[in-house]
Chains A and B, each alone.
Chain A
Amino acid sequence: MAELEYNAEGIDGEEDGQEREWLPSRDNVVFLIDAQAAMFEEAGLKDTPGFAESDRWFDVAVKVAKEFIKSHIISSDNDRIGVVFYGATETGNQNNFDHVYTVVTLDEPSAQSIRDLENMMGDDFEDKVGSAAEGSPDHLRNGLWAASQLINTGSSRANKRLLIFTRDENPAGTGPKAESYRERIAARAQPLHEANVTVEIFPLTRPGDTFSMTFWNHIIHAGNDEESGVLYEEGSDTMYRLQSLPGFTRQKAYRKRASGRARFLFPGGYKMAVSMYSLVQPATKSSPVFLNALNNEPLKVESAFIDQDTGAVLTEVPKRIFPKFSDPNLYKRIPPIILTSEELRSIRITQDPGLSLLGFKPASCLKPWHTWRQSNFVYPDERTMPGSTTAFIALHEAMLSQERVAICTYVRSRNAEPRLVALMAAQEVKDEYGEQLSPPGMHMLHLCFADDIRTPEVDKNLVGEFFPEPSAGQVREAEKLVEKLTMEDSYVGMYENPLLQRHYQVLEALALAETPPDVEDSLKPDHEWMLSTANDELESFRNSVYGANHNEPGIGKKSASTPKKRPAPEDDPALKDALAQHDYKALAASGKLGKLKVDDLKPYLRAHGLKVTGKKDELIERITEHIDSQP
């Protein structure tokens, strides 16, 4: 792996104690969408976000596939996704199975695959592919066959999922040959099972309609959950309802991917095994990659440590010098010490990874400022240490009933510093259809140390020393407002991140050489709703505090403040000295400003009243501009 790669970054990351989570392996996902006549009835979906009332079932399925691809581009773009229609007029697939049309071949998702799917909606489908004239049990059989060929290309270690979208309860039909058809279809499902593919059925039915799983249960793989070693009951976890469509498209990883396993040690040596999962992981936009402008191939970045005295490339992890002063005079006050990586390692106390129980305390001891990152989810790991589940559930129940949390020392990996965490037991929550909303287990909250916590709220420089008391009436008005504007839903990823949405929508357009669209910003306070539900309360609260004719100024109407006086160089001897050190004009003229350190650039900016913040490149640009603008 990174064995042969010489990468100075990685080492630094470790030294800085950067937290990383990793998700092993990738998913291969194939959408197998029925294209027979029944799919072209209008679905009549009302109030389902993302779908039009005129959408046909087939369009619904294609849209789901499209949204699925889009969300994977944002969150896990090395998953591979394919989309296949069965029961089509046209035949278009690698193995020439009849009436099977592969619209997106199994690959990492791309803008083109999204466009290809968009071109399959509405009448375009009829023009290009079309629905098979006659229904036949062979359609599904061929579809399964094609899908299993497709899904088994590439890495064998991927998690494999086949999602079937259909309205057909019983593709084998009811005729005399039904049983033999069923067997023939099931025979095609067999290789899927052998290749450990999870088959999921998405019955496209209106809410309230029933859909018999009698036939499909033969096709579904009664999968073995690799992570927890628990067998799924047939069909229990693999049937989706229309209601869960929006949630489904957002689903990043169906398979639970443990981000780690740990031994959970009690004082005295008793231990159980648990697995850790990242159910929340802040998604970020992709970081830029440099391409070779000549061939648009990604460049390989290599970094090396260069000894500045000899110019030699260092082959070993360099030592460290502490403290790191920008002002060398400070070394006169404290001589630096040299630390080897071994010393640093033993300072950082490496311990065996795992969780060690220290004790319990009431959940109310945890304050909202006591965590500094997203939590992890902890679930018993029966396979590694049989018996763990029973012990874990007993502990879970005990903690829930007493509303107490467990405080533990947590060591994430061999190189990680120990930290304190709190385990908080959580009850399973299901919706009215029995769909799991939040899983049973424990959440591991990463706790702050006192060194991490700041106390700005009692800093008199920030808050002053006078804290006005609201009257009982004012508090009452505020309470009325709170009552009125309380939202009904529970907060589970209520909003999409407009930063990511914009980034990827623009990228998608650029990838297809289209003009970037204007992206609507959906993340805004809903003033219309506020005024329609609580106009009176808003007004009475405001009047009770501010009186009728006053409001505090908003952005842009900053309270008048005297502009900061910039020190003239002649008034500030230190600045004058610093300026005299370098001939900025000459350096700028010869393009050598880059040779200066940031600290050498700043005096110029300061002396000329320019902004001193930003990256070095920006500072240089600013100085060059300023010098150019001078007569």
Chain B
Amino acid sequence: MAKALTVFAVDIGPHMHMDIGLVAEALRTYFLSKVVNKARDECALLYFGANETRNAVHEEMAAQGSFDDYLHIVEEHPLKPPDQAYLEGLEPGQMPRGQGRSDFIDAVSVAADILNKAVELRPELEKANVTKEIVLISSLQERVKEAEVHEFVAALVESLKEHNVQLQTVLVDIEKQGDDAAREYNREILSELAEEIRHKDIIVQTPAELLGVFKCKEYSNTAYYAGPFTLGPNMNIRVKVAKKAKKEMLPSTKLYSDRSRASDATHEVQREHEYKDASDPDTIVPPEERQKSYKYGKQFVPVSADEEAFLAYKPERGIHLMGFMPAESIPQYQFLKDPWVMVPEKNNEKSGTALAALVRALHNKQSVALILFLPRVSEKTGGNPAVCAGTPVLGNGAGPDHLVLNHLPFAEDLRVAKFTSFEAKADLLPSEQQVQCMSDLVQSLDLQSDTKELLAADTTRNPTIHRFYNHAACQAGGREYPLPEPQEDVLVRETFLPDGRVVSGSQALLDSLPELLPIVYKETAPGMADLKDEEGGELSAAAFTLEGAAAPAVSAVGTSDPISDFNAMVKQDNLDAAFRSMPDAIVTLVQNSMGNRNYQKALHALEAMREAAVQHGRGASFNSTLEDLRGKFESATQHQSFWQLLMDQQVTLVSTEEDPGTEVSAAEADNFLKQHASKGQVVDEEPAAMAVDEEADEFADME
């Protein structure tokens, strides 16, 4: 089975101190992702430029009487599958900063030695499907010792080649400092080293680039289809097709319940489905009384297993040329779904030549191939046909010339709609000056400077996934690290917010826009509800965790048994905290409620609070809570029926009759119920029916 061995040689010397926090973050997310996604892969971690010296090569040399070699290199973790210890040493602030001096060639030698020894010890690692790699992370500012360096590098290259070791260098170039000459010299030596082995060089110039240097998950590139690509009835090219891109999701998590406090609790949660008769919701219909059906218009058509087979589309699998089209006739916005890549069969000279000739011809003619794509057909469920545009991509030596395949819409996928021509909006057309201003902006707000393209898809990491791994990696040691606010999260900021350096050049243009192209901002325009700022209170309420109840001394009201918590606190005479945290608990209960499951609990909690409020003269506190709840739920899209429930249950304000401390008369309290109860019932049948439609529609296009 394929497997990867990676030795990290990480510079922690004085020149790296500024960026060590970023390096630690990149490494801990990498190691965690290895455990989660590639549990068999092994990693070693070497620090160089460290204060101390602790590595096998030094020890061997010392045993031979030479004590001054391979100094300040520390083997932090030997080659093995990474575990908790790797992450703990890389938690924020934990990664060491060294004052030692050691050059990167020495570090790479020690790294190579680790790989060599591993292969000697476990010959099965010699196999070609075991990837061996050294990753060097350094700013390359510590000048390499010059004595016999070329001979040394040559010997190192030989040793790396022997075991087919790849080298990846991450050159940290964020702060320009130190000795340029030394860096230049080091780069020369580095290219001498890398030249003859498989290597990849990455230069990182921004913190975001450093954080995103490793992918969150590596995929092995397996062929989804291997077989002929037919060009007419008489010619085949043998090809393989693999995924080129697929939206990477957040890592998967498992449901967890802390309901049971037993020491041997599994904490597992299962999702169970019940099929109920629509007219009689109390009857559960057993499997043998369930009939599978498909919707056809308004009808549900019962379909037996035999008929089901007949529904499936079962052509022969294969990939066929349908014709060619000028590239500009298929704009990219017509592409659907994930792209694929079509490469020639490995080591097949004829197919390789044929596909390369075709790709170059398409490239020269600025054309794309129209391809019928039916890679797999299952005996039972049939195949999922697609028509794809095959765009030619030249390999340029790094790979074969190939086609990228993008799904195109079928007739059924198109929704034709007509939009008014801009020319028809004579009174809304911009003036020349207005267009000029936008033109200048389009030019100056430039993401492609002379040197590099900013936010290029091929190199921009997904900040959300990185954030997830980083957060989880930080918690591995059991210490709590608060999640950084989004605007303090480097990757989030540099990816999703405008880059100050880009914007600064366009500031004057941006400032002139409101005057030159005035726009009336109607805050409460209908239909813009989704743009309105949600009530600010939500987050603080959400931050209220459900763990409170487990704590022995009750210091806040939890959600698992709010009434007991509340009463306990009242008993402890901790009235302030009790009345402060109860509303939070109620809101949390309601907001986390699936459907109406928590409503009764929240209602009872609120009633208990009201009772205590009357007893302890805290009516005002209750009244403001009730008003808050009204603000949150009375006309909310979710949990509106909770408010209804309160009104149905006649939960009203505490009046002066009950607690003289309030400023609400008995009549006002009565009125409160009338006023808000009636308002809630305005919801008539019609919109409710619509809402169901919307729901159905929302799910309609899910596969």
B356 in contact with A467 (CB, 8 Å) = yes
B234 in contact with A290 (CB, 8 Å) = no
CA distance A72 to B350 in the complex (A): 48
Taking CB as reference atom, which chain B residue is nearest A457?
Answer: B399
B520 in contact with A292 (CB, 8 Å) = no
Taking CB as reference atom, which chain B residue is nearest A22?
Answer: B698
B323 in contact with A485 (CB, 8 Å) = yes
Chain A, residues 365-383, CB within 8 Å of chain B (1/0): the string is: 1111111111100010011
- A626: interface (CB < 8 Å): no
A267 in contact with B498 (CB, 8 Å) = yes
Chain B, residues 584-619, CB within 8 Å of chain A (1/0): the string is: 000001001111111001000000000000000000
Q: Smallest CB–CB gap between A377 and chain B, Å?
A: 8
- Within 394-438 of A, Cβ neighbours of B (below 8 Å) are at 394-399, 401-402, 404, 406-407, 409, 413-414, 417-418, 420, 424, 426, 428, 436
Stretch at the interface among B176-184, B475-483, B623-631, B668-676: B475-483
B-side contacts of A524, CB under 8 Å: 320, 372
- A113: interface (CB < 8 Å): yes
B447 in contact with A487 (CB, 8 Å) = no
Q: Do A303 and B84 contact each other (CB < 8 Å), given the known contacts A73-B297, A499-B385, A523-B372?
A: no
A-side contacts of B82, CB under 8 Å: 333
- Within 289-319 of A, Cβ neighbours of B (below 8 Å) are at 289-294, 296-310, 312, 314-319
Q: Do A342 and B542 contact each other (CB < 8 Å), given the known contacts A397-B430, A456-B243, A461-B221?
A: yes
- A493: interface (CB < 8 Å): yes
CA distance A602 to B380 in the complex (A): 21
CA distance A346 to B434 in the complex (A): 40
- B693: interface (CB < 8 Å): yes
Q: How large is the interface on B (under 10, 10 to 19, 20 to 34, 35 or more residues)?
A: 35 or more
CA distance A457 to B421 in the complex (A): 43
Stretch at the interface among A58-66, A207-215, A246-254: A246-254
A299 in contact with B277 (CB, 8 Å) = yes
- A218: interface (CB < 8 Å): no
- A136: interface (CB < 8 Å): no
Chain B, residues 231-270, CB within 8 Å of chain A (1/0): the string is: 1111111101011111111111111111110100111111
B-side contacts of A277, CB under 8 Å: 415, 417
- B334: interface (CB < 8 Å): yes
Q: Smallest CB–CB gap between A265 and chain B, Å?
A: 9
Chain B, residues 383-409, CB within 8 Å of chain A (1/0): the string is: 111010101010101111110101111
A371 in contact with B339 (CB, 8 Å) = yes
Q: Smallest CB–CB gap between A243 and chain B, Å?
A: 14
A300 in contact with B276 (CB, 8 Å) = yes
- Within 424-448 of B, Cβ neighbours of A (below 8 Å) are at 424-425, 428-430, 434-435, 437-439, 441-443, 445-448
CA distance A388 to B323 in the complex (A): 42
Taking CB as reference atom, which chain B residue is nearest A399?
Answer: B442
B594 in contact with A546 (CB, 8 Å) = no
Which of A316, A497, A555 is the one whose CB lies under 8 Å from B411? A497
- A574: interface (CB < 8 Å): no
CA distance A620 to B246 in the complex (A): 31
Q: Smallest CB–CB gap between B40 and chain A, Å?
A: 11
CA distance A69 to B296 in the complex (A): 11
B-side contacts of A485, CB under 8 Å: 321, 323-324
- B695: interface (CB < 8 Å): yes
A-side contacts of B593, CB under 8 Å: 315-316
Which of A360, A391, A436, A467 is the one whose CB lies under 8 Å from B418? A436
A-side contacts of B170, CB under 8 Å: none
B-side contacts of A493, CB under 8 Å: 409-414
Q: Do A337 and B475 contact each other (CB < 8 Å), given the known contacts A281-B415, A516-B307?
A: yes
- Within 4-47 of A, Cβ neighbours of B (below 8 Å) are at 4-8, 11-13, 15-18, 20-26
A468 in contact with B686 (CB, 8 Å) = no
B458 in contact with A319 (CB, 8 Å) = no
B-side contacts of A272, CB under 8 Å: 519
Chain A, residues 432-475, CB within 8 Å of chain B (1/0): the string is: 00001001110101011111111111110111101111100011
- B151: interface (CB < 8 Å): no
B-side contacts of A369, CB under 8 Å: 244-245, 339, 341, 404
A-side contacts of B331, CB under 8 Å: 424, 426, 443
CA distance A356 to B601 in the complex (A): 41
B-side contacts of A507, CB under 8 Å: 294, 296, 301, 303, 311
Q: Smallest CB–CB gap between A128 and chain B, Å?
A: 23
A20 in contact with B350 (CB, 8 Å) = no
- A263: interface (CB < 8 Å): yes
CA distance A299 to B382 in the complex (A): 27
B-side contacts of A24, CB under 8 Å: 694, 697
B-side contacts of A292, CB under 8 Å: 277-278, 285, 289-291
- A119: interface (CB < 8 Å): no
CA distance A72 to B296 in the complex (A): 10
Which of B247, B302, B530 is the one whose CB lies under 8 Å from A261? B530
A354 in contact with B531 (CB, 8 Å) = yes
- A477: interface (CB < 8 Å): yes
CA distance A108 to B296 in the complex (A): 10
Q: Smallest CB–CB gap between B570 and chain A, Å?
A: 25
A-side contacts of B483, CB under 8 Å: 343, 346-347
Stretch at the interface among A84-92, A191-199, A525-533: A525-533
A-side contacts of B402, CB under 8 Å: 457
Which of A448, A500, A530 is the one whose CB lies under 8 Å from B412? A500
Q: Smallest CB–CB gap between B500 and chain A, Å?
A: 9
Among A228, A250, A319, find the residue whose CB has the most chain B CB atoms closer than 10 A: A319
- Within 63-84 of A, Cβ neighbours of B (below 8 Å) are at 69, 71-78
- B667: interface (CB < 8 Å): no
18 new A-B contacts at CB < 8 Å, known A314-B269, A320-B253, A487-B323: A20-B702, A253-B417, A279-B415, A286-B294, A307-B260, A358-B499, A359-B454, A367-B457, A372-B245, A383-B525, A394-B438, A409-B497, A440-B419, A451-B465, A457-B244, A481-B361, A482-B358, A507-B294
Provide 17 A-B residue pairs closer than 8 Å at the C-beta atoms, listed in order of the A residue: A4-B641, A107-B298, A270-B510, A299-B285, A303-B274, A333-B82, A372-B339, A373-B336, A426-B331, A454-B219, A456-B244, A464-B347, A466-B352, A467-B401, A530-B232, A538-B235, A555-B317
User: Would you list the 8 A-B pairs with minimal beta carbon distance, nearest first?
Assistant: A478-B361, A443-B333, A108-B298, A456-B221, A309-B260, A387-B519, A320-B253, A470-B357
